[in-house]
A and B are shown apart, each in its own frame.
Chain A
Amino acid sequence: MRGFLIALGRAARRTLSLVGQVARLNVLLALALLSPRRLNFRLILRLTASQARFTGLEAVPLVGACAVLVGGLAVVQTFGLLAGLADATIGKLLVGIIVREFGPLLVAVVLIGRSGTAIATEVGAMSLSGELDALKAFRIGELDFIVLPRALGMILATFSLIVFFDAAGILGGFGAASLLKDVSLSGLRELLLYSLTNADLAVTAVKAVVFGHAVAVLACVYGLRVRGSSTELPKAVTRAVVASMGVVLALDTAITAAFYML
């Protein structure tokens, strides 16, 4: 019994410490963005660009393939299960679900699996090898040199990927639909015009910023905490992935509730 309580206490302390570190980092990031004169733009831009390229551009094939398949499969299943409904209704349903939920969530999963692990590993390795110590000795802030560019790059990439996923998913769905039935191109245009609302566009933007930011910050925090031995590194990466998944889902629920239920 005592052992259990000790373990529970330890886990609680670690969680609180993590939450505190994440909160502190977020506040510092916000403050840094509010006084941009102190930032070294050229350097940060260069780092942001390379992060965006890795997270965004290089993920395009994977995201594209996922999107087309998910869109197509969704169409196939809904047409089968909802045979009674009008085509236009089904179309509206699909567009809505892809744009509102599937897009952001699946992109987030790809993001966590590719970039979350990469960032946590890289930052963790830097911590272990003493690179972070050297940066500290030269007064190079880890906030604007490491965290900020990664967060910005992730946000940019996430937004682009979600939009790309939406487009590819809808096209994939349309492709599958045209295999099952006779659908026209103008029908697609009408579909898109009437299915998407202003809230959808706002939600896409909000989710992109929130997910990209969360995954980047969590990966950085877990990476920064690595010390002691190299076995700590994969542990940190795994924990970062699990935490990111949980946080993304929680945020997704909150955003959906805020925009669509109120």
Chain B
Amino acid sequence: MRGVRFDDGHHPAIRELDLSLEAGERLVAFGASGSGKRTFLKLAAGILKPDAGTIESEPLGYVPSEGGLLSNLSLLDNAILPLVYHKRLPLARAAERGRAALSELGLGDRLERRPATVSASARRLAQLARAMLVEPSVFLLDDPLEENRGALKATLDGTSKAGKDLPAIIADVKDLVADLKRHPWRLLRKGDAQPPPPQSSGPKQP
């Protein structure tokens, strides 16, 4: 992101933001409710367009905190959709990859179910699988702490296995501590125009 500015009266405003991430880095956006973390994430994902400035990154793995799975497709079909659409894999091969990814996350027994018929954490894991299958350069996670710790751990393990960038939006830092101890990470708070340089030791309690 470079010189990004955003204000449309509906979402929290972002004044001026310059941000670039290296491979393997984690960025944690931290702030009180309403401080603009989700807006930041949506700008990064390309869902919202900034009023000024440029944003570059492709491909993206987006994992929102709710909604986001097409409700009339099974978990498997949802997970492989970006693959089928962009890479034009034949259905059988895409399904194979999808099954592998979903089973790895523990959803092997629920592949054919629709999103509304499974638990919220299952939905979250399916969205993560979808993001992982795209092999993105950046993962965008919205509120990964919302579900139980099992799902969170799978989320963090999954993204570290992919070994990629991981900007994450969280509401509180507690559960993230163990993971952060293992990777270089940076903290972005409301009002920052740029996140501070990476730190490798565990986080200080804010």
Contacts and interface: CB of A to CB of B under 8 A. Distances in A.
A223 to B, nearest CB: 14
Contacts of A43: 84-85
B85 A133 contact: no
A131 interface: yes
Interface string B62-102: 10101111110000000001101110100100000000000
Interface residues of B, number: 26
Interface stretch (A4-12, A62-70, A135-143, A150-158): A135-143
B42 A133 contact: yes
Contacts of A42: 88, 91
Contact of B67 (A40, A131, A136, A140): A131
Contacts of B62: 134, 137-138
Q: How large is the interface on A (under 10, 10 to 19, 20 to 34, 35 or more residues)?
A: 10 to 19
A189 B45 CA distance: 63
Contacts of B85: 40, 43, 138, 140, 145
A138 B134 contact: yes
A145 B66 CA distance: 22
Interface centre among A42, A134, A139 (most CB of B within 10 A): A134
A131 B69 CA distance: 6
A134 B84 contact: no
Given A136-B46, A137-B60, A137-B62, A129 B71 contact: yes
B59 interface: yes
Interface in B121-136: 127, 130, 134
A133 B47 contact: yes
Interface in A116-141: 125-126, 129-131, 133-140
Contacts of A131: 67-71
Interface of A: 40, 42-43, 125-126, 129-131, 133-140, 145
Interface of B: 42, 45-47, 58-60, 62, 64, 66-71, 81-82, 84-86, 88, 91, 127, 130, 134, 140
